[in-house]
Amino acid sequence: MIELRSLSVRLGDTHALRDVSISVEAGEWVAVIGPNGAGKTTALRALCGLVDYDGVILVDGRDTRTLSRRALARLTALVPQIPETPPGLTVAEYVLLGRTPHLGYFAMESVGDRHAAERALDRLELRPLAARTLTALSGGELQRVVLARALAQDAPILLLDEPTTALDLGRQQQALELVHALREGSGLTIVSTMHDLTLAGQYADRLVLLDRGEIAAEGTPDEVLSTANVSAYYGANVRVVHDEDGVFVLPVRP
Amino acid sequence: MIAESVRARDTAGVRARGIAPVWAIATVAFLLGSLLVGLGVGAVEISPGAIVVSAVAHLPLVHIHSSLSAVQDAILWQLRAPRVVVAALVGGMLAIAGASYQGVFRNPLVDPYLLGVAAGAGLGATLVITYGHASAQLVPVAAFAGATLAAACSYILGRSAGPARTTGALVLAGVTVTAFLTAVQTFVQQQRTDVLRNVYSFILGGFATASWHDAAVAAPYIAASSIVLVLHRRVLDVLALGDEEAASLGVNVARVRLVVCAAATAGTAAAVAVSGLIGFVGIIVPHTIRLLVSTSYRAVVPLSLLVGAGFLVLTDVLARTILSPQELPIGVITAFFGAPFFAVVLRRSRGRA
């Protein structure tokens, strides 16, 4: 579904990404992990055409360079880490903005677009909040609303940038369960950046560990989340526990 | 059945609010009322009824008799009507341009005046009045060139100070550009004392000399500009999400910014060319609509045009009646109300800067 071939991104003088190749199957959930500044977010931004890059990105077999901005936005929906919340906008209006890539430049939403927004709201059980303003939402509600906007885009690929930042433990789990359910329900392909290694290991099929813009490790959670990897690339003292419920990365005071 | 009606109500929630009918009616009524006040108030009072009858009587193929005398008729249609029409065009344009600049720059504090656009247009017009052959066709073109230059300077200067979204930087850049352009303009006008009066009456702004010719010069630019801006109302809502998110939704942000700025600047330049420099309309009107109606540009952009038109017509009535028979420059009144208003908006935008 997605193929990055020797992707490099320069931000100013530094290489944010260097010669990164990743391929993601349709319906797969790949989590990009790595310490701060490793290039996780840059990889997502390159995927949805927000930064210039060297190399090739194929989405659904097509080179994204040959796609228009709108066409790319119909294939990839980005959920930003810290979304902008224009004051006064209602949840319904915000989710409708997700229909933008399906609309002509000067067009207004049709009934079909409204139905798409309704479906997105229904799937996330947000219909009762439709008339609320964004600024009146809690952190967890806002996270779901942003997800609903991305779903309204009707793109087969969902890009999640740190989807659990600013949420408490319970809401982190709920948010990721929700993404899991959406993926099961409609075969979405998911690429997410994740800070929390334990959660990343529990939800993603595959992990890609970036370090200073290069791939340091790649594979199943069991393979990537080793004590050696985490201490080498995160500089953290951890104990990694493997059992039937998955992998757990536990910080231990040095 | 109950479930069905509940569902219908839920569905009604999933749409952009746009402009509620009550607000559409209210703003159109406000504009029409303002026009009648503008036409009726003055040294010779003319009743709204007589104005309407006279207007209908002037239509081709209509044979009814207006109760107005020939003098009243001349006052109404040769003096007041062009003045009111030009004030309405200029007010609508300054307000819709303010709303649009606020949208593309994501900055609640910008308006044509504060961005230096008005000063740039003023300089362009002054150069033509001073050195040119005072050809009426050239004034709008020169004003547009000056306005575009000023907008570009403010934007580049504001960006160079930091990230584009820094609210204060763009306004400070606008103030800087305005100060510089005003200095150049003063220098130019002082060289030619024989045309000083023309330039001064232009700078102070106002509609005392407004003619049907002025209306005809400005109207095409203002109409074209307004149409382009109104068509962008939904895209401006997308831009409110920030450049990155708007781009991820498939919007070519740079192109939208360029087109909207060009349209707003062209319209503003035409408005300045026939009215001189009038500040704060682009702050007062859009923010009032945001407070009363909605913050969505689907409402703010079209309503700014209507409310701005009515607002400036009423302001002009104040300008010519407060110190009657003397006229007060209209910019004095808009600044008198606008500056405190700006202070309130500045306070409210705290924390978003």
The span from the CA of A19 to the CA of A9, in Å, is 9
Taking CB atoms and an 8 Å limit, are B249 and A92 in contact across chains?
A: no
Which residues form the domain of A117? 85-154
Chain A residue with the nearest C-alpha to that of B298: A108
Question: Do the Cβ atoms of B280 and B113 come closer than 8 Å?
Answer: yes
Question: Do the Cβ atoms of A93 and A130 come closer than 8 Å?
Answer: no
Structure tokens at A18: 């260097």
The span from the CA of B221 to the CA of A19, in Å, is 52
pLDDT tier for residue B167 given thresholds of 50, 70 and 90 = low
Taking CB atoms and an 8 Å limit, are B250 and A96 in contact across chains?
A: no
Residue B59: DSSP 8-state: S
Does residue B292 surpass a pLDDT of 70?
Answer: yes
Where helices occur in B161-296 by DSSP H, the ranges are: 167-191, 196-204, 212-231, 233-239, 243-248, 253-275, 281-292
**HSE on the CB side for B205, CA within 13 Å?**
26
Domain membership flag for residue B2: no
Best B249, B258, B290, B348 residue to mutate vs chain A (most A CBs within 10 Å): B249
Taking CB atoms and an 8 Å limit, are A100 and B295 in contact across chains?
A: no
Give φ, ψ of A17 to 5 degrees. -140, 140
pLDDT tier for residue B136 given thresholds of 50, 70 and 90 = low
The reported pLDDT for the residue numbered B234 is 94
Domain membership flag for residue B78: no
Taking CB atoms and an 8 Å limit, are B252 and A80 in contact across chains?
A: no
Question: Do the Cβ atoms of B221 and B140 come closer than 8 Å?
Answer: yes
CATH classification at residue B141: 1.10.3470.10
Sequence letter at residue B118: A
Contacts with A109 from chain B: Cβ below 8 Å: 15-16
Domain membership flag for residue A204: no
Domain membership flag for residue A236: no
Residue given tokens 């927004």 in the structure block: A117
Question: Residue B11 burial (CB < 10 Å; 0-12/13-18/19+)?
Answer: middle
pTM comes to: 0.88
Domain membership flag for residue A205: no
Helix-strand-coil split of chain A, %, nearest 5: 40, 30, 30
pLDDT tier for residue B1 given thresholds of 50, 70 and 90 = very low
Does residue B178 surpass a pLDDT of 80?
Answer: yes
Question: Residue B342 burial (CB < 10 Å; 0-12/13-18/19+)?
Answer: buried
Instruction: Give per-residue pLDDT as tens, A211-253.
Output: 999 999 999 999 999 999 999 999 989 999 988 888 999 999 8
The span from the CA of B90 to the CA of B274, in Å, is 8
Domain membership flag for residue B8: no
| Parallel/antiparallel/unpaired status of strands A62-63 and A157-161 | unpaired
User: Measured between CB atoms, does A83 come within 8 Å of chain B?
Assistant: yes
The span from the CA of B140 to the CA of B270, in Å, is 5
**Which among A75, A62, A100, A46 is positioned nearest to A155, based on CA atoms?**
A75
Question: Do the Cβ atoms of A143 and A156 come closer than 8 Å?
Answer: no
The reported pLDDT for the residue numbered B23 is 94
Instruction: Give per-residue pLDDT as tens, A149-189.
Output: 999 999 999 999 998 887 888 888 988 999 999 899 888 99
pLDDT tier for residue B197 given thresholds of 50, 70 and 90 = confident
The span from the CA of B101 to the CA of B297, in Å, is 11
The span from the CA of B112 to the CA of B120, in Å, is 10
Domain membership flag for residue B67: no
The reported pLDDT for the residue numbered A23 is 93
The reported pLDDT for the residue numbered B277 is 79
Residue A6: DSSP 8-state: E
The reported pLDDT for the residue numbered B5 is 43
Does residue B341 surpass a pLDDT of 80?
Answer: yes
Instruction: Give per-residue pLDDT as tens, B199-257.
Output: 776 777 788 888 898 899 899 999 999 999 999 999 999 999 998 999 999 999 989 98
Instruction: Give per-residue pLDDT as tens, A31-40.
Output: 999 998 899 9
Contacts with A127 from chain B: Cβ below 8 Å: 10, 13-14
Instruction: Give per-residue pLDDT as tens, A63-90.
Output: 999 999 999 999 999 999 889 888 888 9
What average pLDDT does the segment A122-128 reach? 89
| Parallel/antiparallel/unpaired status of strands A157-161 and A76-79 | parallel
Domain membership flag for residue B173: yes
| Total domains present in chain B | 1
Structure tokens at A125: 């059980």
Question: Do the Cβ atoms of A253 and A237 come closer than 8 Å?
Answer: yes
Domain membership flag for residue B166: yes
Distances A66 to A47, A63, A69, A103, B217 between C-alpha atoms, Å: 13, 6, 10, 20, 45
| Total domains present in chain A | 1
The reported pLDDT for the residue numbered A239 is 92
Does residue B112 surpass a pLDDT of 90?
Answer: no
In this predicted complex, what is the ipTM? 0.91
Rounded to the nearest 5 degrees, what angle is found at the Cα of B219, between the Cα atoms of B215 and B220? 140
| Nearest residue, CB atoms, A114 vs list B15, B17, B249 | B15
Residue B145: DSSP 8-state: H
Q: What residues in chain B have their Cβ under 8 A from chain A's Cβ atoms?
A: 10-11, 13-17, 231-232, 234-235, 237-238, 240-242, 244-245, 247-252, 290, 294-296
Domain membership flag for residue A36: no
What average pLDDT does the segment B25-41 reach? 95
Residue given tokens 């349209």 in the structure block: B263
Distance from CA of A113 to the nearest CA of B (A): 9
Taking CB atoms and an 8 Å limit, are A121 and B14 in contact across chains?
A: yes
Length of chain A: 254
Which residues form the domain of B170? 23-38+83-346
Does residue A194 surpass a pLDDT of 90?
Answer: yes
